[in-house]
Amino acid sequence: MAQIKTPPGHRTPRMGARQIYEALRDQIVGRAYGADGLLPSSRALAAELGVSRGTVTIAYEQLAAEGFIEIRHGARPRVIERERVRTPSRPFSRKVRLSGYGERLRQVAPRSEEQSRNLLANFRYGDLSPSDFPLLAWKRAVVAAMTRRPARLAYNDPCGSRRLRMALQAYLWRSRTVRCDVDQIIIVNGSQQGLDLCARLLLNSDDRFVMEDPGYLMARHVFAANGAAAVPIPVDGDGLDTEQLAKTEARLAYVTPSHQFPLGGVMPIARRHQLLAWARKFDAYVIEDDYDSEYRYDTKPVPPLHALAASQDVIYLGTVSKTLSPTLRIGYLVVPSQLQSLFAAAKQIMDRHTPLIEQEALATMLETGAYDRHVKRVRRRNGERRQILLDALRRRFGDRIQIDGAAAGLHVVVWFRDLPRTSEAALIEAARVKGVGIYPVTPLFSPDRRHQPDVVGLVMGYAALEARQIERGCQLLAQAVDQLRSRRLS
């Protein structure tokens, strides 16, 4: 008789056909039955297990279909001879065969960042405070989108909701003087998908692309994964040093001219014209990532490259990840008109289109003014957080630090003048032990580090923190720095 055992005192729940099949299969593979061993009849096993005979019959039929047993009318099921039983093969190590893209990705892909938990203050850039999210306005917009009954449920335009693109067209003109046709706007799943589309369509393997040094790491990764080689150009207080472009031939340049990431420089008009002249000379495109232009505190906005280039050489990239939430995955490209159909086709092949309900909700917020009111509110709140952070850093560290990029955005870069770069890892660990998450600027430089200062630099985001967390975080960071200095001097 088959024995399907449970722990003593445990009441056996009613078993299903799948459980019975798996238990008997394991017993057969484990040689609990000899060659030609007999299983109980379906009626007998059903009575023993307290299930219907049909349930057992299903399990037996599956075992027979997989070659474990033989079923004959009027006879008990018989285990097939052992050498004929298909036992699971032993695990083995096989050579992984990847495409060229896969091999490159294995080399350049960033490691998944472990989420730090139980920190008193986490200065990770890119996070936003949940309390800043316009929950009520977003809920109303989503409900309105869901109650708007479509004529049919069908795939949407790969370029995105036309209603959202019309709302974005108006918003970009009034907020950033970006003039474009609705058809030039492509809705994407966050700026990262926008970069991936640009890489696939504009770069071949072994092409070169200009990259700010330091610059946005995920942009560098997506271009390198396509086989292109980075040409790192240093940045200063005015952003990309365009003087160094004169003899640099490349197919593409990725820049953040309105607020250079991470150092915060704003590219002046002269450099913008120089960059555009370079693009025309080498028949290259410029990707203008305007990732956080809504947050300006001590600077006036400069016209974007897109407005200066009559949209022919520039691909403008924007997102709501810094205003609403990075979890929404809504971004947009404004592409030259001659590329619109190509980007639309690539987007359709990639994922058909971006989810529609979120697009319609964002369109409602833009049309009603709710989005503009929200941006004004979070700009004020983040301006307050920024000032609290600057005051706390200056109070704790004085002239031992240099702060870059404070005039705009949602982060600052802090350089510790008397801590050599070799102490970076030790400082990060010392801060973590005290409950503070800090993040080095090192990964944002090109791998040769030739443009990186020899002191510790941290990218400190503040948009997810409240005042008490910022104050406490800076206090604990100062303690970690003092401990590190003491160890170095002893």
The confidence score (pLDDT) of residue 239 equals 96
Please check the confidence at residue 396 and state whether its pLDDT lies above 70. yes
Please check the confidence at residue 446 and state whether its pLDDT lies above 60. yes
Of the ranges 74-78, 142-146, 439-443, 486-490, which one carries the lowest mean pLDDT score? 486-490
Using 50, 70 and 90 to split pLDDT, how confident is the model at 32? confident
- Most confident among 57-61, 71-75, 95-99, 211-215 (mean pLDDT): 211-215
Please check the confidence at residue 176 and state whether its pLDDT lies above 70. yes
The confidence score (pLDDT) of residue 92 equals 57
**Same domain? 257 vs 319:** yes
Please check the confidence at residue 84 and state whether its pLDDT lies above 80. no
Higher-confidence residue of 140 and 490: namely 140
Average pLDDT of the residues in 156-182:
96
Tokens at 476, concatenated: 């604990």
Q: Give the sheet arrangement for strand 208-213, strand by strand.
A: 185-188, 331-334, 314-319, 285-289, 252-255, 208-213, 229-236, 239-240
Handedness of CA 441, 444, 446, 451 (dihedral sign): negative
The confidence score (pLDDT) of residue 5 equals 47
Angle between the N-to-C axes of helices 190-202 and 217-225, in degrees from 0 to 180, rounded to the nearest 10: 40
Residue 137 burial (CB < 10 Å; 0-12/13-18/19+)? middle
Helices (H), 398-448: 424-433
Average pLDDT of the residues in 246-268:
95
**Same domain? 446 vs 315:** no
Angle between the N-to-C axes of helices 424-433 and 467-489, in degrees from 0 to 180, rounded to the nearest 10: 130
Average pLDDT of the residues in 323-332:
96
The confidence score (pLDDT) of residue 3 equals 55
The confidence score (pLDDT) of residue 490 equals 64
User: In angstroms, rounded to a whole number, what is the distance separating the alpha carbons of residues 126 and 75?
Assistant: 68
CA atoms within 13 A on the CB side of 179: 6
**Same domain? 166 vs 284:** yes
What residue type is assigned to position 297 of the chain?
Y
**Same domain? 307 vs 238:** yes
- The terminus-to-terminus CA distance of the chain in angstroms comes to 76
Please check the confidence at residue 90 and state whether its pLDDT lies above 70. no
Quote the domain boundaries for residue 430: 117-125+374-489
Average pLDDT of the residues in 273-283:
95
Q: What is the largest CA-CA distance in the chain?
A: 93
The confidence score (pLDDT) of residue 112 equals 62
Average pLDDT of the residues in 100-128:
83
Average pLDDT of the residues in 148-174:
94
Please check the confidence at residue 355 and state whether its pLDDT lies above 50. yes
Q: How many domains does the chain have?
A: 3
The confidence score (pLDDT) of residue 309 equals 74
CATH of the domain at 250: 3.40.640.10
Percent of the chain with pLDDT over 90: 75
CATH of the domain at 450: 3.90.1150.10
pLDDT 10s digits, 204-235: 999 999 999 999 999 999 999 999 999 999 99
**In degrees rounded to 5, what are phi and psi of residue 253?**
-130, 130
Angle at 385 between CA 380 and CA 386, to 5 degrees: 95
Assess if residue 89 is contained within a domain: no
Report the mean per-residue pLDDT for the chain: 91
**In degrees rounded to 5, what are phi and psi of residue 218?**
-70, -30
* Plot region of 214 (φ>0 → left; ψ -120 to 50 → alpha; else → beta): beta
**Same domain? 382 vs 319:** no
Angle at 447 between CA 445 and CA 449, to 5 degrees: 60
Q: Is residue 224 within 8 Å of residue 103, measured between CB atoms?
A: no
**Same domain? 233 vs 304:** yes
Using 50, 70 and 90 to split pLDDT, how confident is the model at 116? low
Q: Which of 199, 205, 181 is nearest to 346 (CA)?
A: 199
**Same domain? 199 vs 291:** yes
Q: Looking at 369, 401, 420, which one is the last position of a domain?
A: 369
The confidence score (pLDDT) of residue 7 equals 42
Assess if residue 8 is contained within a domain: no
The residues that bridge with 125 in the sheet, in sequence order, are none
**Same domain? 387 vs 452:** yes
The confidence score (pLDDT) of residue 303 equals 84
